Amino acid sequence: MFLLFGTSARQALLTVVVFACRFCGQAVDQQVVRRSTRVTLFFVPLLTVSKRYHVQCTNCGGVTDLTRQQAEHAQEWAARRG
């Protein structure tokens, strides 16, 4: 029997917040992104094995890793300012 396992990664833009980037120092849009890695069987996603969050500067592209709590906090913060 032949089984074809693999992984797929998917990025989702959660929200955009504005604050001073720690790399370039500019107060520009920072994209809060969730990246999930899923195990696939015959290219069909079965389960999510990891979820990671980061924020990426739209000016310089600098990436900072976030915890899930920080990403959720950023979403709440953006929603309040809405």
Examine residue 21 and tell whether it contacts Zn ion (CB under 5 A). Answer: yes
Examine residue 62 and tell whether it contacts Zn ion (CB under 5 A). Answer: yes
| Minimum gap (Å) between residue 25 Cβ and Zn ion | 7
Using CB under 5 A, count the residues that bind Zn ion. 7
What is the per-residue burial (b if ≥16 Cβ within 10 Å, else e) of 9-37? eeeeebbebeeebeeeeeeeebbbbbebe
| Minimum gap (Å) between residue 35 Cβ and Zn ion | 19
Q: How many CB atoms lie within 10 A of CB 82?
A: 4
Given the rule CB under 5 A, which residues bind Zn ion?
A: 21, 23-24, 57, 59-60, 62
